[in-house]
Structure 1
Amino acid sequence: MSKSSASSNGFTLIEVMVALVVFAVAASMLMLVDGNSIRLTRYMQEKVLAAQVSDQYLSRLQAEKNWPDKGIRGKVENYAGYYWYVRQTVRDTSERDFRKIVVDVFVGNQKPGDDDIPMFSLDSYLRKPKK
């Protein structure tokens, strides 16, 4: 038997190690991309739900036909299995029979800080109900 025929069969240890390193790097990059995708999907789901919470909150204000007091009020809502902190800000406008309402929605049931950014914010105007 000659030496050349024995050394040409199979891979060397170095070649196997390099192949394993390449596979490990590729698999870890795939897992990283998949994790970011899951995080982004959850964020977008929360954003859509926050938009629905703010829309329902404002629709309820319009349906009640109450003239809201000026100022800031907060309330915890439960929607789609999540707790949401809803902050309502009511301001006067240049028109006497209208008030501007800003509905900010935050994830969680804790009052947010002044610098916290809402998950969703909705601005609208309410007209004073006629008697």
Structure 2
Amino acid sequence: MRQRGFTLIEVLVALLVFGLIATAASEVGSQYIGSYERVRDLTLASWLAGNRMNEIRLQEEFPSVSENSEEVEYAGRRWRVVTVVSDTDEPTMRRVEVNIEAYRDRGDPAQIQSLSGFIRDSEQTL
């Protein structure tokens, strides 16, 4: 009586197929995680930039021309918020640019988001 079963070649081919499927699945999973992290960082950076712009808009005084940088802790991460207030041709207007940078595992932060806008001096009439 002859025994039935898989030959060594059949087992090796099956292992090869499963290995290829596992490699493809891990690559897709890795891409998904990378996309998720990018979207998360962009969302958090957008919120930080919007918050900073609104803080400037809500100030009592018209902002002076300046550039400042501050580090903040937000959503369990360290961020650098760089705010640049510059003159425009119109003396009652200021251009405000907020750049958000995220600290990575290694050293210097990388820019994630930028938001620009204009603020008018509410004390001046047009």
> In the superposition, relative to structure 1, how do residues 47 and 25 fare at CA in structure 2: closer, same or farther (>3 Å)?
same
Please report how far the alpha carbon of residue 64 of structure 1 lies from its aligned counterpart in structure 2 after TM superposition. Answer: 1.3
Please report how far the alpha carbon of residue 89 of structure 1 lies from its aligned counterpart in structure 2 after TM superposition. Answer: 1.2
SS in 2 for 1:88: strand
User: 1:33 — aligned with what?
Assistant: 28
Q: Which amino acid aligns with 1:74?
A: S
Match of 2:52 among 40, 49, 57: 57
SS in 1 for 2:58: helix
Matched, 1:42 2:37: yes
User: 2:98 — aligned with what?
Assistant: 103
Q: TM-score, normalised by structure 1?
A: 0.83
Q: TM-score, normalised by structure 2?
A: 0.86
User: Larger C-alpha radius of gyration, 1 or 2?
Assistant: 1
Matched, 1:123 2:86: no
Is the 1:71–1:90 Cα contact (8 Å) retained in structure 2?
yes
Q: Which amino acid aligns with 1:29?
A: A
SS in 2 for 1:103: strand
User: 2:8 — aligned with what?
Assistant: 13
User: What is the alpha-carbon distance in structure 1 between the residues aligned to residue 108 and residue 85 of structure 2?
Assistant: 18
SS in 2 for 1:27: helix
User: Structure 2: which 5+ runs fail to align?
Assistant: none
User: What is the alpha-carbon distance in structure 2 between the residues aligned to residue 26 and residue 38 of structure 1?
Assistant: 18
User: Structure 1: which 5+ runs fail to align?
Assistant: none
User: What is the alpha-carbon distance in structure 2 between the residues aligned to residue 91 and residue 122 of structure 1?
Assistant: 14
User: What is the alpha-carbon distance in structure 2 between the residues aligned to residue 111 and residue 95 of structure 1?
Assistant: 36
For residues 60-109 of structure 1, the C-alpha deviation after alignment (integer angstroms, 9 at most, x for no partner) is 11111322222321111222222210111111111110000000000129
SS in 2 for 1:119: strand
Higher strand share goes to which structure?
2
Please report how far the alpha carbon of residue 111 of structure 1 lies from its aligned counterpart in structure 2 after TM superposition. Answer: 6.5
User: What is the alpha-carbon distance in structure 2 between the residues aligned to residue 30 and residue 111 of structure 1?
Assistant: 33
